[in-house]
Structure 1
Amino acid sequence: MGLVNADIQVIQVNDPRLQHQTQAGYVVVGESWGARLRLSDPPDVTVLNAAVVAATDQGFLIEELDASWAPQVTALEALNHADYPYTPATAVPQRDESDVLELWRSGCRLFGAINDGQLVAVSALCLTTARAETEFTSVHRSYRRRGLAVAVKAASITASADAGVRIFGTGGAQINSGSIRMNEHLGYAVEERWLSLTMPQ
């Protein structure tokens, strides 16, 4: 990652430069992480399927979304934007509807939890050359702590596994312990930790 801008440097915790930066007076202003899920071949999707069933048992519809859902995805992301924990390495962009439509155009797959026709949770998974990377997972405030984030993320992983993907990536802010627990439940292991550093003004 290296230098993000003139004021912030994002360095992996095991990078030898970290000691030099802290000795020079840099201070930590954010912590973030990256995790990987490596599925066997054939994949064991028992935990993933159970997460989806737990949501459908509550009456939610968990399904892949097509681009006609773009207005609802955009609205949900706008509603939740202030809730994303911020670090310099995990800043979440403000997405308008054209940005959201671009996810489908670029081949990303979006999965949602639907309650009476309303989108209440969404997860976007995008293919890179090496893996499938979760772009974001978002749940309406009124529907949190009901297993919907884990359900939509599990649905996205299962669908991509069916298409032959075996390595998945995700990440976020260290302060978001709920996200880390959710991903560990699905089988992700944190493999990278990053510190955002700046020189005090």
Structure 2
Amino acid sequence: MTADIEIVQLNDPRLQHLIEAGYVVVGESWGARLRLSEPPHRAVLTAAVVAATDQGFLIKELDDSWAPQVTALEAVNHADYPYTPATAVPQRDESEVLELWRSGYRLFGAIDAGQLVAVTVISLTTARAETEFTSVHPSYRRRGLAVAVKAASITALADDGVRIFGTGGAQVNAGSIRMNEHLGYAIEERWLSLAMPK
């Protein structure tokens, strides 16, 4: 992988010039938005959380006492994040995880018998709330936990008056795209990462 990476939107006129100059695509990513109505329709969000609680999971906002478990969960999952230059997820130690709370991020988790098995992290900008990352322990995947914790985060920020939410990821992560579309997100941006071959 070369350090000379250009990240451009699919409709950017520079794209054709870069390809003509010899750049090749090394990654594809996307950005999506959820725009809630006023008042928000919550049926899909509520159903996602209920589907998880009906399985016995506790879905709740996490305080910073959960930092060790968030750190451990991210360590287990780090290699599973699909990589593109535009969507790289850093490997965080516990002090960096604690910094998420100090920086005003909000974390929501799924808990099974006291063990954190899924987490999502959301931040608030002036324009919207943005999901930073969502992950589920390998043993608990395909049980609706990613959608449940994300739905819980959206509901909490909607209660605070937020109406626009953003998220994104690697194009190869079809499961993430389906999960976000289920919650009402629509892909509005597609990005290509390009590099000059060595």
- Shorter chain as denominator, the TM-score bin is over 0.9
Partner of 1:74: 71
Measured in 1, the distance between the counterparts of 2:4 and 2:84 equals 13
Structure 1 counterpart SS, 2:76: helix
Matched, 1:194 2:191: yes
Partner of 1:173: 170
Which one of the candidate residues 117, 133, 156 is aligned to 2:130? 133
Matched, 1:24 2:25: no
Q: How does 1:106-121 map to 2 (within 5 A)?
A: 106-121=103-118
Partner of 1:84: 81
Partner of 1:62: 59
Measured in 2, the distance between the counterparts of 1:161 and 1:125 equals 12
Residue type of the partner of 1:34?
G
Measured in 2, the distance between the counterparts of 1:135 and 1:98 equals 17
Q: How does 1:119-158 map to 2 (within 5 A)?
A: 119-158=116-155
Q: What is the aligned residue count?
A: 197
Q: 1:125-156 CA distances to partner (integer Å, 9 max, x unpaired)?
A: 11111110001101000000000000000000
Residue type of the partner of 1:78?
A
Measured in 1, the distance between the counterparts of 2:3 and 2:73 equals 33
Measured in 2, the distance between the counterparts of 1:103 and 1:40 equals 29
Measured in 1, the distance between the counterparts of 2:74 and 2:125 equals 22
Which one of the candidate residues 153, 158, 162 is aligned to 2:159? 162
Q: 1:162-196 CA distances to partner (integer Å, 9 max, x unpaired)?
A: 01000000000000000000000000000000000
Structure 1 counterpart SS, 2:153: helix
TM-score when normalising by structure 2: 0.98
Query: Any unmatched runs of 5+ in structure 1?
Result: none
Moved over 6 A (4+): none
Measured in 1, the distance between the counterparts of 2:3 and 2:15 equals 17
Cα-Cα RMSD: 0.9
Measured in 1, the distance between the counterparts of 2:59 and 2:166 equals 21
Measured in 2, the distance between the counterparts of 1:117 and 1:6 equals 42
Partner of 1:95: 92
Residue type of the partner of 1:76?
L
Measured in 2, the distance between the counterparts of 1:51 and 1:32 equals 25
Structure 1 counterpart SS, 2:87: coil
Matched, 1:35 2:23: no
Measured in 1, the distance between the counterparts of 2:101 and 2:34 equals 23
